[in-house]
Amino acid sequence: MRLFIALLLSLSLAWAQSTHPQTGSAGIYAIARIVALDQERATVRIGNQVVQAEMPTDGIDFRIGQLVVVYQADGKTYLTEPYRLHYLWALLGLFVLVTIALGRGKGLRGLLGTAASMGVLAYVVVPQIAAGSNPLLVTFLGAFGILALSIYFVHGINRKTSAALIGTTMAALVALVLATLLTEWMQFTGLTSEEAFLARFQLGGNLDLISLYLAGVVVGALGALNDVTVTQAAVVQALVQANPRYSVRELYSRGMAVGFDHIGSLVNTLVLAYAAGSLPLLLLIGQSDVPLAILFNNETFAAEIVTMLVGSLALVLAVPLTTLVAAWLLRGRKLDYIERRWPGA
């Protein structure tokens, strides 16, 4: 709960800061309102001050009355981009309302668990990495904490959720080991994006980019892993509730009857999700004169492919692993009390 409050305070601080000028590296950022426009300049109001601002060259269609971000330096004012934070708050509010309305108690706990998870990343994992700790170790420990917090808080503390946590951890470990081996065999440097280069530059060159890349592979798969393992453990739980006399083998085989369908849908879903995030790279492939074999051999492309395939492999493995663990933990038990851990859910 404290992390959720901290996250809300951070968002509130961002909202409050947006209404006052903020000092940058060489100038001042501020929120302004456009009062007049021409082809090269805009007249903007910053508080009680009206100034002329240089227009950007990226072709954005600004309009009179619109809120914008301006940057003031060396006696000049530059219009940088539209102000978007109020739209983000509105979208966040809509998401919260729909989630609580449809998910009720579990929807609310899911929101609180997500906020707490983001708090762990923002206030524990990122500061530790910036301070020089090993990104891989810090991220994996933080990820385990996030998983335990989100799974147990949302779904309660019982054997089903413990099976989901164990299955998720095992699949994440497999992904981590495989990604580590591949980065060594393929001799990755970690410079897979402009953001990685800038992060290393800002931290004085002390950032381990390989570990940071591996950490990204693990974190990228965690959300989907959580969904897969909880669902598969719930299938086994339902089978035990239907017939507590099922053996581990019977529970596993019957659970995997659903798991096979789960795997079939996961492959398509994950490939499309990763491909959607890599659309700029796909556009480069389509427009480049470099042979495809050489493009795919480039670290930027190869690292994206490794991330996609390792994450997908972890998800596929999570299904049988979680099913087996859940069958072993739940076998031969009367589970009428399960799902009553949170009354009114």
Token representation of residue 109: 């706990």
Tokens of 332: 């031969």
Q: Assess if residue 52 is contained within a domain.
A: yes
Residue 108 confidence (pLDDT):
81
Q: Kindly state whether residues 55 and 158 are assigned to the same domain.
A: no
Q: What is the pLDDT of residue 326?
A: 92
Give pLDDT tens digits along the chain (345 positions). Answer: 333 444 444 444 454 444 455 554 567 889 999 999 887 788 999 988 899 888 887 767 888 999 999 998 888 888 888 999 888 889 988 988 998 888 777 778 778 877 777 787 778 877 887 777 777 778 778 777 777 777 787 777 888 888 988 998 888 888 888 888 888 898 888 776 666 667 766 766 667 778 778 877 877 777 678 778 888 999 999 888 888 888 888 999 999 988 888 787 777 766 676 666 666 666 766 676 777 677 778 787 788 888 888 888 888 899 999 999 999 998 866 544 444 443 443
Are residues 117 and 56 part of one domain? no
> Is residue 196 a part of any domain in this protein?
yes
Mark whether 171 and 226 lie in a shared domain.
yes
Token look-up 């994450």 returns: 311
Query: Are both 167 and 287 inside the same structural domain?
Result: yes
Residue 190 is predicted with a pLDDT of 77
- Judgement on whether residues 135 and 52 belong to the same structural domain of the protein: no
Same domain? 159 vs 63: no
Q: Does residue 4 form part of some domain?
A: no
In a domain, 5, yes or no: no
142 and 202 co-located in one domain: yes
Quick check: 237 and 328 in contact, CB under 8 A? Answer: no
The residues near 307 (Cβ < 8 Å, ≥ 6 apart) are 179, 216, 217, 220, 274
Q: Which domain holds residue 287?
A: 104-330
CATH value at residue 72: 2.40.50.140
- Our count of domains for the chain comes to 2
Whole-number pLDDT of residue 344: 43
Do 116 and 64 belong together in one domain? Answer: no
The answer to whether 308 and 161 are in contact (CB under 8 A) is no
Distances, alpha carbon 339 to alpha carbons 114, 150, 238, 241, 336, in Å:
20, 16, 11, 12, 8
Asked whether residue 67 falls in the same domain as residue 182, the answer is: no
251 and 214 belong to one structural domain: yes
